Structures are given as C-alpha cells and as structure tokens.
Amino acid sequence: MKRLFTLIIAFSVMLLIPKSMTAQTNIPLPNSGFENWSNGNGYSVTVVFVPLQVYGSYTYPTNWSYPSYPVNESITYSGINVNVNTNLPLLKVSNETSSVAEGSHALKMQTFMLSDIISSTVYNLAASNIDPELTSMVIPTILSTGVINMDNLLPILNTLMVNMSSIGQLMATFANEDINDFIDGGVALNGLVPGRLTGQYKYTSATNGDNGGILMLGTKYNTTTHRRELVGGGYSVALTDASTYTNFEILYRPLSDILSTYTYNEPDSIAIFLFSSANNNRQQGSALYLDNLQLWTAVPEVPEDTCGAVTNLAIDYVDTTLASISWDYDSNPDHWEAEYGIQGFTHGNGITQNTVNNSVILSDLQPDTYYDVYVRSICNDSLASDWSFISFKTDTLVPPVIPPVPDTCADVTGLTIDYVDTTLANISWTFDENPDHWEVEYGEQGFTQGNGTSQTTTNTSISLSDLQPDTYYDVHVRSVCENDIFGDWAMVSFKTDTLIPPVIPDDTTGVNTFAAHNILCYPNPAHGSCTLQFNGERPTNVLLYSIDGKLLQSLVPDKETINLSLPYSGIFMIRCETEKGVITRKIVSF
C-alpha cells in the first residue's frame, strides 16, 4: 500500500438532519448493539510434529465483516522451510461487557500493527518476506456490513482517509466506481430511504489527537450498466477522545445534493464502514468503543408555503478569506438569516448573520477550507422558511493554468524515475524533436498544477532536491518550443525513501562527494543486473554492498558503461570512488 496519509482536519461531532427531513422508522441493522459474537479459528503450521502458532483464535461481532490479507510465504524454522498459507484477519477487537452504553455488550476496536496480531516467533521469522510497508504500517481495524474486497480497497484506503476531510471529495472517490469492487453486500433497504445513523461512542487516542470514523455508502444496482453505483452517503470523523459514552448522529445525503452533476436516485442498499482510526496519522493502540447503532428512515415534510424559501443560492465571489453569497426570492420577508461554518459543522452552532438585502459577505474565513452555508427567509418572529444550502471552498475560483493544445511542439516520452533516495530524485525523458527547452513542475502528490515548484532545463534529465522523506510526489514535464508553443504535459509519480542507509566504510581520502548526476544507475528496480554509466571521470573502483553493509563485490571499470551483476533479490548500495570524490547509489533487485 503506497499512499501515505498527510493532513488531519477537525470536524463537527455530528452531521445535521435539515428541517425538510425527519426520522420515522428504524431500519434493522445486523447485530446493531453488538450483543452477539462469533469465534474465528487460529492458524498454525507443524514443523517436525511441533505446532508453530501463526495467530491465535479471535472473536468478532456476528454479521460484521472484516478485511483479511492473503499470506503465502515460506519461512525457515529450525533449519526447515515451512509454508504459511492463510488469510490473515486484519482486526483487533474485543467484546466489552463492563463498559457498555445499552444492553450487555459493546464493541471495542483498536488500531494495530502486524506484530500485534501475529505470534512473535512467526513474525520475527517471516518479517523479511512480507511487504515491508505492511510490517511498518499502523493499520485501522475496519468492520463493515458487507464483505470487504481487500485487494481493491487497500490501494485507495489512504486516498479515502484523506478525502474524509470533505463529503464532496469523499463521495467523488467512489462516484464512478462499481461499489461491488470494494464491498459485496450490505443492508437491503426494501424501498425505505435512509435518513440518519445514530449510536453511542467513546474514544481513547493512544497518544493524542487520533479519531474514529463511520462511513455510509448508499448504492443502487444499475440494470443498464450492470454495476452497483453510489447514489448517496454520509460520514463522521468527529469520534474524538471521549471518556464516557457520547451520542452521535450522521446524516445520509443523496449524491445529487453533494455533487451537482449527478441525478437523484434512491438507494436499494446501504453499506456501513467502522474505522478505529479515520485519518492519515493513525496511532497504534487507539480505541473506538461503539454501541446501539440505529439506522432511521427520513421522509419529506410538507413545506411551509406562507414564508417563501430563497432560491438560486449562489457563490458570487471567493478568495482566501472572503466569500460573497446571493440568492433570489419570490415573496418579501422581513429579513434573511444566514448561518455558516466549516463543512460538517453542527447546525445551530455556526456563525449567524441577518440581512435585509438578498446577499451577504462572509469574512475572516480560513484559506483552502470547505464551508457550508444555510440561508432562510424570516417572515416574523414565529414564521420562517426552510433552509437552503450551498457549499464552497476558499481560494478555488481562480481557474488553473491549462496549457494550449500543442500541434507543433513534440510531447515528452519515456518519462522515467532514474534514482530516488530520502531527499533527492533524478528524472529523465526522451523526445522526437528538439524543443527550445523543457519545463518541469513538481510537488506533493495531488498538488494543483500552477502551485508546484517549477524548473526549466535544456537537458533531458533533472535532479529534484530538498524533498521530504517518505512522501509521494507528482512530476509534470513538457516541451517548450518557440513562440510559446508547448507539448502536452507528461506525468510520473514516485515516493521518497524511508530506509536507513547501510553502514558503508567512511571515505578517508579527504575528497568530497561530487555532483550526483555524474553517475547513472539503471534500470531501478532491476532484475538481476544493472548498468552503470559514467558521465565524466571514470571511477577507480566500484564496490557493491548489501543493505546491512557487507561488501559483496569490487571491480575496476574499464569503460564508460559497465554491467553489474546483482547476486540475489534485495536492496543494495553501490559505492563509486573517483579522483574527484565518492558517489553512492541504492538499487532494488527482484
């Protein structure tokens, strides 16, 4: 899993049910009070008639599903190769009987690392064979009302967590997907329309500032496309530290209310996800307690017709700290009331303004932040219209700089990451024609073009420095010809390293390391061998080290390009000693 979690935004404790919707009927959820529990079997392997436990038996709330990770690895135990072949349950939960809100049982979910759920003996033997990102990752316990497809959910899990800062971005993550690719099943609605999810929770951060979350996805099967499509949903990531059980309420909203390009559809089923940690800075051991979940229907009320609601609510202007909102009206009320706050704020706890004009200016806003705005007509002290609603994001109305469609300037091809370490990356490319120069723009993954770091070069490669370790980056490159004619942008992504470099003998020659681009090493990752290309002075010696600092090979190059054999799959360090200095290169071989 490669996407790494970056920014936490604090949200309101609950999402409001607007005046036009009111809860009517309870929609049954499976084991909603977590009163029933099931047992999962442990897994062990036998070595010379001696059982070796991989993980023990465990319990989980009946009718709630959890993800599992397929493991098929060979480990060496007492000199014997043993194959471990199992679906490892990725959860850490417990059946609470002394800390409950209602009934006799409650659910406790904890965020964990792989070493928490695998026996220490097997973990120490198998750690080197398992994906290092999985062994170093802090994993949220995830429970759902349907069966999670871990292969498809895992690659977007971090994107999902980051996008929980905005219901619009969150829904957009799934809006064009077949939901059956991520979860199979859910709660059948049988013609009922969901309105809100309620319950009680407690939360304990392992260190501080962690938070739990709940996500609802309303879906409908499309008989034309034969896909299960998203038609609405709701979420809360406001399940923050609370020492006693606290009520929460989460609103279900149709997708057409969230993303205006979609039409209204009623769901035929709903999937509910529970997350022990719902952000990108999860803490090992953080615990979410849940009890008494209840899903309610909602029906429209008869609208008030004696005090006309505002219409055509519009965002007229937005900058980093200011927004102007206007609307139309059919009747003449006494005045209008506007209430606004950061997206997801609890209605009634926002900032209120009254105006006799059909517009209002919102000031002192935070840059790069989503806001919700509610406006209603006030006819007299006892009569008001329904609320009208709109959302916006500060500093987003300026359109991005979009390059013209090229017709005479050749596009960049073969965009390649030649080298990456913790703070440095080398990028190269090929071309069919000779432009005047190339333009490069880069930034952390997902950055808006025009807001990144820009460089120009007349070479077909560039070195990016001062990068952040353990971070994803996007790099865009295009050709620039005369008369401001541009090629299309080409894009490549990479992630900076987090590995601790091996211990390599110190350079005692007194010569400083010279420019990194003097030596190229490719391909990287390699498959048993790699090519070293020397630009400038040829090294006097080339040394190959294992990742733990063991010298594996030493040779004196006799030409400008040599082929270096890599003895096995793993990570290696290459040390090139020249009369001008020393350069090291890290390479991975599969």
> What per-residue confidence (pLDDT) applies to 267?
94
Mark which of 329, 358, 393 sits at the end of a domain: 393
Residue 525 and residue 450 in one domain: no
> What per-residue confidence (pLDDT) applies to 4?
28
Work out whether the CA dihedral 382, 388, 394, 399 comes out positive or negative.
negative
Residue 86 and residue 186 in one domain: yes
Measured CA to CA, the distance from residue 121 to residue 53 in angstroms comes to 8
Work out whether the CA dihedral 380, 377, 234, 269 comes out positive or negative.
positive
**Which letter does DSSP use for residue 310 in this model?**
P
> What per-residue confidence (pLDDT) applies to 396?
63
Mark which of 249, 265, 299 sits at the end of a domain: 299
- Domain for residue 460, yes or no? yes
Residue 207 and residue 143 in one domain: yes
Residue 315 and residue 440 in one domain: no
pLDDT confidence bin for 516, thresholds 50/70/90: low
> What per-residue confidence (pLDDT) applies to 162?
64
Structure tokens at 153: 């959910």
Residue 144 and residue 78 in one domain: yes
Is pLDDT of 246 > 90?
yes
DSSP characters for 18-57?
Answer: PTTEEEEEEEP-TTTT---EEEE--EEEEETTEEEEEE--
| Proportion of the chain above pLDDT 90, given as a percent | 35
The residue type of 508 is T
- Domain for residue 501, yes or no? no
Give me the chain's average pLDDT, please: 83
- Domain for residue 431, yes or no? yes
Residue 94 and residue 243 in one domain: yes
Is pLDDT of 225 > 60?
yes
For residues 425 and 419, the answer to whether their CB atoms sit within 8 Å is yes
Residue 461 and residue 535 in one domain: no
Residue 162 and residue 66 in one domain: yes
The larger pLDDT score, comparing residue 404 to residue 527, is at 527
Integer CA distances (angstroms), 558 to 209, 435, 504, 532, in order: 58, 35, 24, 12
The CATH number assigned to the domain holding 472 equals 2.60.40.10
> What per-residue confidence (pLDDT) applies to 550?
84
The total domain count for the chain is 4
Measured CA to CA, the distance from residue 341 to residue 344 in angstroms comes to 8
Is pLDDT of 400 > 60?
no
Burial of 237 (0-12, 13-18, 19+ CB in 10 A): buried
Residue 129 and residue 222 in one domain: yes
Mean pLDDT of 376-392: 89
- Domain for residue 559, yes or no? yes
b or e along 530-560 (b: 16 or more beta carbons within 10 Å of the residue's beta carbon)? bebebeeebbeebbbbeeeeeeeeeeebeee
The three-class DSSP label of residue 581 is coil
Per-residue pLDDT tens digits for 25-61: 889 999 999 999 999 999 988 877 778 888 999 999 9
Measured CA to CA, the distance from residue 55 to residue 120 in angstroms comes to 9
Mark which of 447, 465, 495 sits at the end of a domain: 495
- Domain for residue 340, yes or no? yes
Is pLDDT of 122 > 90?
no
Structure tokens at 435: 């432009």
122-131, 248-257, 305-314: which has the minimum mean pLDDT?
122-131
Per-residue pLDDT tens digits for 337-352: 999 999 989 888 999 9
The larger pLDDT score, comparing residue 407 to residue 411, is at 411
Residue 535 and residue 435 in one domain: no
Measured CA to CA, the distance from residue 526 to residue 324 in angstroms comes to 56
- Domain for residue 240, yes or no? yes
- Domain for residue 200, yes or no? yes
The three-class DSSP label of residue 175 is helix
Write out the H or E segment, with its range, that includes residue 121: helix 120-126
Measured CA to CA, the distance from residue 312 to residue 587 in angstroms comes to 59
What percent helix, strand, coil does the chain show, rounded to 5? 10, 45, 45
Can you give the residue range of the structural domain that contains 528? 516-589
The CATH number assigned to the domain holding 68 equals 2.60.120.260
Is pLDDT of 589 > 50?
yes
> What per-residue confidence (pLDDT) applies to 66?
92
Residue 293 and residue 340 in one domain: no
Per-residue pLDDT tens digits for 160-197: 766 666 777 778 778 888 888 888 888 999 989 999 99
- Domain for residue 13, yes or no? no
Is pLDDT of 203 > 90?
yes
The larger pLDDT score, comparing residue 512 to residue 575, is at 575
Residue 227 and residue 99 in one domain: yes
Structure tokens at 529: 């061998």
> What per-residue confidence (pLDDT) applies to 359?
92
Measured CA to CA, the distance from residue 280 to residue 74 in angstroms comes to 32
Measured CA to CA, the distance from residue 53 to residue 78 in angstroms comes to 15
Per-residue pLDDT tens digits for 420-461: 877 788 899 888 778 888 899 999 998 999 899 999 998 888
